[in-house]
């Protein structure tokens, strides 16, 4: 990866949630390649251990913590263990998300609505409440939203609604945490990860998804990582409260 010669995060510490695979892993890798000490996390110890090993094999400084973002103790541990090991936090990337139901909005059970809100929105707020006392002037927060925030898709309508909420959250936090800390969001388009396996397991569905984009292809996790790294870096030092849509030209207007 040619970009790894950029060392925009030398001496910095970055936390990335849900970062043992897919977009989260790619973001953690990119930040690490650019010099950051990266703290990765996900719900399962096995996944954390495997991801840590993969990144360490690439020569990166990485530390793994089990964290289910809806678990208060896990969130507290993630922040505290980061501080214990590295002494500070410069970047937080909130990437965890769930889509537990494909039901239409008006048929979605209340328990599913609660889970969507809890993981996709509330957990970000609560994690940042834990992290905020340790952030300093120049720190940066990146929230991972989705193109579904702008264009809710069938089988993902309520997921899309929670992702729209994250656009507002980025604006609100940017205002609240200014001028010392910047807060932005990335809205990925269709990326063939495990989370979006429904796109890739059916060739016809994949072709339709590709043809909807102006660039006639799906995105990659590395595309999303590049945008997140830009927003987290000092190259974006005059950008806050914004969302970069990385979706190959898909319409993105609320």
Active site residues: 159
Could you tell me the CA-to-CA distances from 188 to 1, 193, 198 in Å, in that order?
20, 12, 16
User: Please, what sign has the CA dihedral across residues 163, 167, 170, 173?
Assistant: negative
The tokens of 246 are what? 């990385």
In angstroms, the CA 43 to CA 18 distance is: 8
What is the secondary structure of 62-92 as a DSSP string? EEEEE--TT-HHHHHHHHHHHHHHHS---EE
In angstroms, the CA 69 to CA 121 distance is: 10
Contacts of 59 (CB under 8 A, 6+ apart): none
The tokens of 94 are what? 């909130």
Sole residue written with tokens 């996709």: 120
What is the secondary structure of 172-215 as a DSSP string? HHHHHHTTT-EEEEEEE----SGGGHHHHSSHHHHHHHHHHSTT
**What values do phi and psi take at 109, rounded to 5?**
-70, 150
In angstroms, the CA 84 to CA 68 distance is: 20
């Amino acid at each position: 990866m040619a970009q790894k010669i950029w060392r925009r995060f030398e001496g910095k510490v970055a936390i990335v949630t849900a970062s043992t695979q897919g977009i989260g892993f790619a973001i953690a890798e990119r930040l690490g390649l650019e010099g950051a000490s990266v703290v990765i996390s996900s719900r399962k110890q096995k996944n954390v251990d495997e991801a840590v090993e993969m990144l360490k094999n690439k020569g990166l400084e990485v530390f793994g913590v089990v964290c289910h973002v809806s678990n208060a103790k896990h969130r507290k541990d993630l922040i505290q263990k980061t501080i214990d090991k590295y002494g500070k936090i410069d970047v937080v990337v909130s990437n965890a998300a769930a889509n537990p139901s494909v039901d239409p909005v008006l048929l979605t059970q209340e328990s599913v609505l609660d889970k969507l809100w809890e993981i996709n929105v509330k957990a970000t707020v609560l994690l940042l409440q834990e992290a905020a006392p340790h952030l300093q002037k120049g720190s940066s927060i990146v929230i991972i939203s989705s193109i579904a925030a702008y264009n809710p898709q069938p089988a993902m309508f309520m997921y899309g609604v929670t992702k729209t909420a994250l656009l507002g959250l980025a604006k609100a936090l940017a205002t609240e945490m200014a001028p010392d800390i910047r807060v932005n969001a990335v809205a990925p388009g269709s990326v063939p990860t495990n989370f979006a396996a429904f796109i890739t397991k059916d060739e016809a569905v994949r072709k339709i998804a590709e043809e909807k984009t102006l660039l006639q292809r799906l995105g990659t996790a590395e595309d999303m990582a590049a945008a997140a790294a830009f927003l987290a870096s000092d190259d974006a030092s005059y950008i806050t409260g914004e969302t970069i849509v990385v979706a190959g030209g898909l319409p993105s207007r609320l």
